[in-house]
Amino acid sequence: MTGRGENLPRLADPLSVINGMVRPPATYLSAEEILQRQYVAHLADLLASDEDRPHPHRADHAIASADDGTYLGDLITVAERDARAHLTRFLGSFTGLADAARESLRTWATPIAAEPRTSGLAAQLYQASLRWRETVEELERRKLALQTALPEIERVAELPAASDDDKRALRSARAGLRLTGHQLERLRGRYWIQVLEEFGVLPNYTLLDDSVVLDVSLTWVDPETQEYRSEPASYHRSSASALSEFAPGATFYVQGLEITVDAVDLGTDNSAIHVMAVCADCGYARVLDAAAPQDGPKACPRCASPSIAGREQHLDVVELARVSAEMRRDEAAISDRTDERRREWFSVTAAADIDPEFIARRWYVNDYDFGTKYLRRGSAVAHANVCAC
């Protein structure tokens, strides 16, 4: 392991930074999203032990569809066919789980009126498959656009009068094409469990699928052939950290490199940008219809405040899901030119949308502005990490 400066003594003697017993992380299991994904993982374990069930070997086999005969389709069938027995067995493994959380999971996992594929579980798996297909289609469109534009970029860069910008554009186009191919390969590749985690089907170490991806393309000149080469890499951070670490203009340090983030994925024709109305009094937030944002609420559905109708409360936002950077490897390598890391400062605002309906427990300190509320379910906006445009 490498280190520098004040970190060297800690790396040599890691126990020196530990004072007392290290407590294992605790999980609030009454949170509905956590419980739902643990339940899906429980069902996936049952399928894994049955040799007659479909067992995917690639990500596209696991998540490309949730129809009959597919892995997700079979998971839905097994989950709904004997939902009561599965739920009894799963919930029986917990002690102290809130009754409201138990009932919520039963409602979510049980088909409506015994009709197949009507449960909340089925809807979530269908949605995950749809998001995967949309992501792959977007990358395929991007790859095709780069392939179409590349011959002309190459022609211009090879002209005798080509400028440094023309040559840089060629390097960027080639690096972008390789990076897009790497992303498609990862989404379709053999690490199918990781992809199911990324798209919210299975639980992961962050407990929720709130991670942000930084795609990096490192370029360099091959000393033997004098040709430009590129190497793609991807890094993940939780949404809370990514709002500053992966923000445009931020410098991200990893594996001996200092990488400047220079792009945010806004989707095709800026389709990822949405208009969000935020109540100034209670924090209620809602994404408005893109076709008619002017038809937003005239009063807050939760507290009846008219502030949500004001234009100043309508923000153009994009969910920070994927960012990218292109760097020359020799320029990105960390050297001894400075011992200080560059850090950009960003305005990060916590806008908690707390629906009183989902508060399970609360406590506070008398005569002091401090307390805690446990929520069984957060709002969709609270789960998203959004940046104002």
101-122 pLDDT tens trace: 899 999 999 999 889 999 999 9
Residue 88 structure tokens: 């009894």
Residue 328 domain flag: no
pLDDT averaged over the chain?
A: 84
CA atoms of 315 and 293, how far apart (whole Å)? 11
pLDDT of 244-285, one tens digit each? 888 888 888 887 888 889 888 887 778 888 888 988 888 888
pLDDT band at 372 (very low <50, low <70, confident <90, very high): confident
Out of 138-152, 245-259, 311-325, 372-386, least confident range: 372-386
Asked if the model's pLDDT at residue 183 lies above 80, the reply is yes
What range does the domain containing 61 cover?
Answer: 28-208
Asked if the model's pLDDT at residue 306 lies above 70, the reply is yes
Residue 145 domain flag: yes
Predicted local confidence at residue 381, as pLDDT: 47
Q: Tokens 């990781």 map to which residue?
A: 194
Q: Which amino acid is at 129?
A: S
Helix (H) or strand (E) holding 88: helix 83-91
Predicted local confidence at residue 3, as pLDDT: 55
CB atoms within 10 A of CB 54: 15
Residue 33 domain flag: yes
Residue 320 domain flag: no
Q: Which amino acid is at 66?
A: A
pLDDT of 128-171, one tens digit each? 999 999 999 999 999 999 999 999 999 999 999 999 899 888 88
According to DSSP, the β-strands at 322-328 and 211-221 are parallel
Predicted local confidence at residue 384, as pLDDT: 45
pLDDT band at 221 (very low <50, low <70, confident <90, very high): confident
Q: Residue 309 carries which DSSP code? A: G
Ramachandran area for residue 291 (φ above 0: left; ψ -120 to 50: alpha; else beta): alpha
CA atoms of 263 and 344, how far apart (whole Å)? 15
- What percent of the chain lies above the pLDDT cut of 90? 33
Residue 260 domain flag: no
Please indicate, yes or no, whether the overall pTM of this predicted structure exceeds 0.85. Answer: no
Given a contact cutoff of 8 angstroms between Cβ atoms, the answer to whether 78 and 66 are in contact is: no
C-alpha dist (Å) from residue 263 to 49, 99, 150, 321, 349: 44, 45, 20, 12, 21
Number of structural domains in the chain: 1
Residue 45 domain flag: yes
CA atoms of 250 and 342, how far apart (whole Å)? 8
Residue 79 domain flag: yes
Average pLDDT over residues 189-211: 81
pLDDT of 61-88, one tens digit each? 999 999 998 999 999 999 999 999 999 9
In sequence order, which residues have a C-beta less than 8 Å from that of residue 34 and are 6 or more positions away? 27, 28, 203, 207, 208
Residue 248 domain flag: no
pLDDT of 23-48, one tens digit each? 766 666 677 888 999 999 999 999 99
Predicted local confidence at residue 144, as pLDDT: 95
